[in-house]
Amino acid sequence: MSKTDANTGASLMHEEKKEVASPWPGPKGMIPVTSGQADDANLHNRAYLDSILVEMRIIDAVKPNLTTEIFGKKYSSPLTLAALSHLNKVLPDKSRKPMQEKVAAAKKMDVLNWIGMESDEDYREMVKDAGDTIRIVKPFADHERIIKELQLAEKLGAVAVGMDIDHVPGENGDYDVVDGLPLGALTFADLRRYVKATKLPFVAKGILSVRDATKARDAGASAIVVSHHHGRIPFGVPPLKILPEIKKALKGSKMTIFVDGSLMSGYDAYKALALGADAVLIGRGILWELLKDGQAGTEAKIEKLNEELSQMMLYTGIPDTKSFDSSVLHFE
Ligand SMILES: Cc1cc2nc3c(=O)[nH]c(=O)nc-3n(C[C@H](O)[C@H](O)[C@H](O)COP(=O)(O)O)c2cc1C
């Protein structure tokens, strides 16, 4: 994928790396842009997803039921809306609040919604009329801030809380700083402490190895998101590629396994579910529609994704979301 220097064999990737013009509104860096270079893990997600083909099992197949149980509660679909923070700051039209529009769309469509980094004040505002929410807190260097945010989410009725543990490093190789707030290292003991700080199920978001998955399990997490957070790690292995190994390692643990990463259609979601995810997160797959047409656009996109998922389940004889079967998949 990357070009090499004819003399030295070195990758020309970095020399070629040009600033990619952002297609998104808002200040630079607020919505991530994929570079399309060899180290861009999004590129590898897409290539892996597109290399998986599906056989047909139509005889005796019936229209599927998409109802899905997550943390003991029923939802209309295994699709959930990923945490997409800071969107209220990106549109020129300041009267619009995409974060609230997303919350409203999730509620109307009866799907679970994730909320990421927001101030306590904004979070309160967002969940005022919300449906079910999973609150994800950053791995701040200030551990007391983490505990406070987790406990506020519990008080405000979140169905689960968690941490995007994949957001420790910044691009300069140091701990990242977000909105002026320093992030820090995360130890197993820290994770254990955060799990114990709440009565809610705890989700470790950003698991990309069997090693971290079993550590999250041993720390008491109820769930993981197999993810690299839209390609934070250069050359990140596609979450779907590593999902089956992780699933196997967690067998018997009763943990809920979510997955995300470039799932842009119901067909992509189907592949993730067939590979063993209990539910999937859709982030950038609803982002255009959300920013352009708000709640209505997001609802229409969720509908479309559900239709594609249903179509694929019907073609492959999967009657409900408990019956996915990886043996329908073929890897090119
Ligand atoms: C604009 C934007 C903001 C995000 N903010 C957060 C966040 O605050 N917390 C978090 O855990 N993930 C955050 N994410 C990551 C997503 O939840 C998701 O893991 C990632 O985008 C991969 O899913 P996708 O390929 O469907 O977009 C953000 C993603 C985007 C695009």
Q: How confident is the model over 294-326, as pLDDT tens digits?
A: 999 999 999 999 999 999 999 999 999 999 999
pLDDT of residue 297: 98
pLDDT of residue 17: 61
Flag whether pLDDT at 260 surpasses 80: yes
Q: Which structure tokens are listed for 176?
A: 């990242």
Closest C-alpha to ligand 1, atom 15: 229
63-87: average pLDDT? 97
Domain ranges of the chain: 68-318
Which phi and psi (to 5°) does residue 53 adopt? -110, 160
Cα–Cα separations (whole angstroms), residue 6 to 2, 9, 11, 36, 37: 13, 6, 10, 22, 19
Look-up of token digits 């509104």: 25
Choice from 28, 40, 117, 229 to test ligand 1 binding pocket (greatest atom count within 8 A of CB): 229
Helix pair 188-196, 210-218: axis angle to 10 deg: 40
Cα–Cα separations (whole angstroms), residue 111 to 37, 114, 215: 34, 10, 29
CB 225 within 8 A of CB 9: no
| Per-residue pLDDT tens over the stretch 167-211 | 999 999 999 999 999 999 999 999 999 999 999 999 999 999 999
Flag whether pLDDT at 47 surpasses 80: yes
| Per-residue pLDDT tens over the stretch 121-147 | 999 999 999 999 999 999 999 999 999
pLDDT of residue 61: 98
Q: Helix, strand, coil: what percent of the chain each, to 5?
A: 35, 15, 45
Choice from 33, 44, 80, 84 to test ligand 1 binding pocket (greatest atom count within 8 A of CB): 84
Flag whether pLDDT at 13 surpasses 70: no
CB 249 within 8 A of CB 186: no
Hey, which residues does 316 pair with through a beta bridge?
Answer: none
C-alpha 195/C-alpha 203 separation (Å) is 9
Closest C-alpha to ligand 1, atom 4: 84
Q: How far is the CA of 115 from the centre of ligand 1 (A)?
A: 9
Closest C-alpha to ligand 1, atom 24: 283
Q: How far is the CA of 261 from the centre of ligand 1 (A)?
A: 9
The set of protein residues with a Cβ atom below 6 angstroms from ligand 1 is: 31-32, 82-85, 116-117, 136, 164, 205, 227, 229-230, 260-263, 281-285
Nearest alpha-carbon partner for 275 in 24, 77, 15, 78:
78
Q: How far is the CA of 316 from the centre of ligand 1 (A)?
A: 30
CA atoms within 13 A on the CB side of 217: 18
Determine how many CB atoms are found less than 10 A away from the CB of residue 217: 19
Choice from 123, 230, 240 to test ligand 1 binding pocket (greatest atom count within 8 A of CB): 230
CB 113 within 8 A of CB 80: yes
18 confidence band (pLDDT: 50, 70, 90): low
Nearest alpha-carbon partner for 316 in 77, 55, 100:
55
**DSSP character string of 208-260:** -SHHHHHHHHHTT-SEEEE--TTTTSTTPPPHHHHHHHHHHHTTTS--EEEE-
CB 40 within 8 A of CB 235: no
Closest C-alpha to ligand 1, atom 30: 84
Instruction: Name which of 18-32, 121-135, 179-193, 261-275 the model is least confident about.
Output: 18-32
pLDDT of residue 34: 86
Superfamily of domain 68-318: Aldolase class I (3.20.20.70)
Atom of ligand 1 nearest to the CA of 42: 25
Flag whether pLDDT at 10 surpasses 70: no
Q: How far is the CA of 10 from the centre of ligand 1 (A)?
A: 32
Q: What is the dihedral of CA 185, 189, 191, 193, to 10 degrees?
A: -120
Q: Where are the beta strands (DSSP E) in the chain?
A: 52-54, 68-70, 73-75, 79-81, 113-115, 133-137, 160-164, 177-178, 181-182, 202-207, 223-226, 256-259, 279-282, 329-331
Q: How far is the CA of 57 from the centre of ligand 1 (A)?
A: 34
Atom of ligand 1 nearest to the CA of 87: 1
Atom of ligand 1 nearest to the CA of 117: 8
Q: How far is the CA of 283 from the centre of ligand 1 (A)?
A: 6
